Homo-oligomer: A and B are copies of this chain.
C-alpha cells in the first residue's frame, strides 16, 4: 500500500505557525495528544464529501473523527445543505430572528424526551455554561459536582486550577467524584447538604487516554433520585455523544431524565449551532439570565439543524450508526487477533474507543494508529471515534483491510 506524503500540509503548517498560536490550536492541532507520532497525520484539509476528507496533499481519508463529532450524516449532506442554502437566500444573521428558531425549538421539544424548551447558542461550551448559570440561579447554591475524567468545554469554571490562565476562584466550588461510584455520590450529598447546585456529567465516561466506561446498572437512576431529593439540578452534557446513542437524548437511552441537556456537534451536521434543552420548572430561570451572543439567533444553522434532525429521524440514525460501528469494531478486533494483538473496544459502537491491551506504554497503539493513518484511515490515539451515516460497507471493508495491513507491519517490525 502507498503511504501518504504530507509535504503541502507541512508547508501550510509552517505558514500557519507564523500567524496563529500553535499553528493549529485545540483538539484539531498536532500539539494535542491525539496526534502521536505527529508525522503520521495530515494537518490541513482541501475538501470533504460523505465519509471522506482530502488533505492539503490530496490524500483521501476514510474519516473516523468526523470533525470531532459534527459530521453525522456525511460531509456536505445534500438535504441539510439544500435547507441551509434556501434559508441563506432569505437571510441568516438579521436584526430580528427568523421563525426557523421556533420550528427548531419545537422539533427539539418533540424529539428530545427531557426537553420542554430549547435555548440556542454557538458552542457546546455556551450550552454547558448556560446550564451552570441556570442551576446556580435556580438553587441559589454554588457547588457543582463533576465526574472524574470530565470534559465540559473551555470556560474557566470547567478547567483545572493548574491550567494556564485559570485562578482558584474559577474552580473552588467544583467537587469531583469517581464515575460509577455510588458511595462517593452519597457521601458528596451528605457532606454538602443544601449546597450542591448541580451535577454535570456526560452520559457515559468518554474521556481521553482511557477506556470509555458505560454507566453501571442503576447508577444514573441513583444520581437522578439524589438530585430530586436534594433539589439539585441534573445536567447531562450530550455535546459529544448526542444523537449517536438515541435521538431522544442519551439520558433517555440510559433510562432517566436530565433537568438540563446540552447539545452541539451533531445537532446540525456541522453548521454552527448548539442548544441547551430543559425541563419546564427551569424555563423562567433560564429567561432571567443575562445570556446572549451576536450570532446566537442566526437562521441558516437553524434551518440546517431542522433538516439534520428530520433526516436522522427518517433514517433511525442512532441505530444505524451503532450497527455500522459494531461491524467495524468486530472487524478490527478480528484483524488484531490475526497478528496476536489484543485490541479492546469500549464505549458505544457509534463512538468507539480503541486501545491495545497488550501495550501499557501506549506507544505500540500509537504505532498501529499511525500506520492506519498513513494508509488513508483517519483514526486518532486516545480519543473516541465517530461514525457517520455516509460510511459505506465498502468503507468498512477497506478500513479493516488497512487496519490488518497496519497490524502486519507493526508485527513484522517488532518480531
Asked whether A283 is an interface residue with its Cβ less than 8 Å from the other chain, the reply is: yes
Asked whether A155 is an interface residue with its Cβ less than 8 Å from the other chain, the reply is: yes
17 contacts between A and B (CB under 8 A): A15-B106, A16-B101, A19-B108, A21-B286, A21-B287, A25-B291, A26-B296, A45-B96, A71-B93, A71-B95, A92-B271, A124-B294, A129-B156, A135-B165, A154-B293, A164-B288, A169-B169
- Chain B residues with Cβ below 8 Å from A173 are 167, 169
A98–B264 alpha-carbon span in the complex (Å): 21
- Chain B residues with Cβ below 8 Å from A46 are 90, 98
- Chain B residues with Cβ below 8 Å from A101 are 16, 20, 24
- Chain B residues with Cβ below 8 Å from A270 are 92-93, 295, 298
* A102 engages B16 (CB within 8 Å): yes
A154–B142 alpha-carbon span in the complex (Å): 18
Asked whether A256 is an interface residue with its Cβ less than 8 Å from the other chain, the reply is: no
- Chain B residues with Cβ below 8 Å from A289 are 163-165
* A21 engages B283 (CB within 8 Å): yes
A287–B30 alpha-carbon span in the complex (Å): 12
Asked whether A67 is an interface residue with its Cβ less than 8 Å from the other chain, the reply is: yes
- Chain B residues with Cβ below 8 Å from A283 are 21
Asked whether A292 is an interface residue with its Cβ less than 8 Å from the other chain, the reply is: yes
Specify which of A165, A265, A284 lies most central, judged by the most chain B CB atoms within 10 Å of its CB: A165
Q: A123-B126, A164-B285, A294-B123 are in contact. Are A19 and B53 (CB under 8 A)?
A: no
Q: A44-B97, A157-B156, A292-B28 are in contact. Are A165 and B92 (CB under 8 A)?
A: no
Interface on A for B, CB 8 Å cutoff? 9, 12, 15-16, 19-22, 24-28, 31, 42-49, 53, 55-56, 61, 63, 65-71, 75-76, 81, 88-99, 101-102, 105-106, 108-109, 116-119, 121-126, 129, 132-137, 142, 153-157, 159, 163-167, 169-170, 172-173, 239, 264-265, 270-272, 274, 283-298, 301, 378
A53–B22 alpha-carbon span in the complex (Å): 41
- Chain B residues with Cβ below 8 Å from A97 are 24, 28, 43-45
* A91 engages B47 (CB within 8 Å): yes
